[in-house]
């Protein structure tokens, strides 16, 4: 089969598109013919050796995909040949075929197309878990989303609105802000790209406070990190919640912890992947909630760019260079 392979830890330019052996089906497993895969920031980190869970070399990147079950192994009775499914595999999805344990497969509605199915679960799954289980976001509260035009950012904007919150979106260009407003943000503003100096950090805090009448925001959703985190924490309301989603800026922030004391606020980690493994029943419940929200038209993933399987390395580079607005999809 054809696949993208990581043979050395480096940037996307070192990935190779090649022919590899078909995966072998074992007991309790299913063989999936992949139809679509999505590119996520962990893919960017993993090929460089920067992710917290590194697979052995060489490996096929790609954490999530959708497709059709082509074969089932001995002992599998939870799904059937021909089922449309979504898979959170961690690796292996930028290929024509994937073998995985049947317990890792989730059925998707037949009315949902494969690109949407590939775009929905990781980003929207992360955001629903973050806003619902971790932050306990309530109707009428104010939610600030940093990096709001990216895949996880836009999912947080849409889910925040679906949960009844007032949503403020922040992103690095007018074009990105326009997309955030189209997806339901109540307010939106542009912040500088790159590392913020102290004056720019103060300006960011002041802008957030200005948009909330000086009250601050109840919840911050931060997939950016770096120099953006501290000013966002400073703009929290009393007993606010700061969600640590990721570090797309490339630097892990070190905010002064006296801010948590002074604001009586919570700094909350969000490790969605680990949670899905530890609490699979709750994960499936959240996944069904996402499918229902999509069926009702209340969430709709923004697919900004589509690449062929042969162009998978370029798709990863596109996300790495922050050119994406919404989700990047690989059509297989």
Q: In this structure, what CATH number is given to the domain that contains residue 165? A: 3.90.180.10
Looking at the structure, tell me whether residues 264 and 134 fall in a common domain.
Answer: yes
Nearest to 34 by CA among 119, 92, 90, 81: 92
- Clarify whether residues 115 and 46 are in a common domain: yes
**Residue that terminates a domain, selected from 231, 253, 273:** 273
Q: How many domains does the chain have?
A: 2
- Final residue in a domain of this structure, among 229, 252, 273: 273
d(CA 169, CA 188): 5
* CB 150, CB 177: distance < 8 Å: no
Same domain, 203 and 311: no
Tell me: do 88 and 128 sit in the same domain. Answer: no
> How far is CA 93 from each of CA 310, 315, 325, rounded to the nearest angstrom?
13, 13, 21
- Does residue 282 lie within any of the structural domains? no
Please tell me the distance from the alpha carbon of residue 330 to that of residue 36, in angstroms, as a whole number: 6
Task: Name the band, by pLDDT with cuts 50, 70 and 90, for residue 282.
Answer: very high
Mean pLDDT in residue range 128-147: 98
Average pLDDT, the chain: 94
Burial of 200 (0-12, 13-18, 19+ CB in 10 A): middle
| 243/222 same-domain check | yes
DSSP-derived letter for residue 132 is: I
Condensed to tens digits (0 to 9), the pLDDT of residues 5-60 reads 999 999 999 999 999 999 999 999 999 999 999 999 889 999 999 888 899 999 99
Show the domain range for 173: 122-273
Task: Return the closest-CA partner of residue 324 out of 6, 44, 124.
Answer: 44
């Amino acid at each position: 089969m054809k696949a993208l392979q990581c043979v050395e830890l480096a940037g996307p330019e070192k990935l190779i598109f090649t022919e590899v052996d078909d995966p072998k089906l074992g007991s309790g497993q299913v063989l999936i013919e992949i139809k679509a895969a999505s590119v996520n920031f962990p893919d960017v980190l993993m090929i460089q050796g920067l992710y917290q869970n590194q697979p052995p070399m060489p490996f096929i990147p790609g954490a999530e995909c959708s497709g059709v079950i082509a074969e089932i192994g001995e002992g599998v009775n939870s799904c059937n040949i021909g089922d449309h499914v979504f898979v959170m595999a961690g690796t292996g999805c930028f290929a024509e075929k994937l073998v995985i344990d049947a317990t890792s497969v989730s059925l998707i509605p037949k009315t949902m197309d494969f690109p949407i199915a590939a775009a929905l679960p990781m980003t929207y799954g992360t955001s629903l878990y973050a806003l619902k289980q971790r932050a306990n976001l309530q109707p009428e509260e104010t939610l600030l989303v940093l990096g709001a035009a990216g895949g996880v950012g836009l999912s947080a904007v849409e889910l925040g609105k679906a949960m009844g919150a007032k949503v403020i979106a922040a992103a690095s260009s007018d074009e990105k802000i326009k997309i955030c407003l189209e997806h339901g943000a109540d307010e939106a503003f542009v912040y500088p790209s790159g590392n913020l100096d102290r004056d720019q950090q103060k300006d960011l805090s002041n802008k957030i406070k200005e948009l909330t009448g000086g009250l601050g925001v109840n919840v911050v959703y931060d997939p950016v990190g770096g120099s953006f985190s501290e000013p966002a924490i400073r703009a929290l309301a009393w007993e606010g919640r700061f969600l640590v989603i990721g570090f797309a800026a490339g630097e892990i922030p070190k905010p002064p912890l006296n801010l948590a004391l002074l604001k009586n606020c919570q700094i909350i980690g969000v490790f969605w992947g680990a949670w899905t493994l530890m609490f699979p029943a709750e994960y499936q419940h959240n996944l069904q909630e996402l499918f229902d929200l999509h069926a009702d038209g209340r969430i709709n993933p923004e697919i900004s760019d589509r690449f062929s399987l042969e162009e998978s390395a370029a798709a990863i580079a596109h996300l790495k260079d922050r050119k994406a607005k919404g989700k990047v999809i690989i059509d297989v």
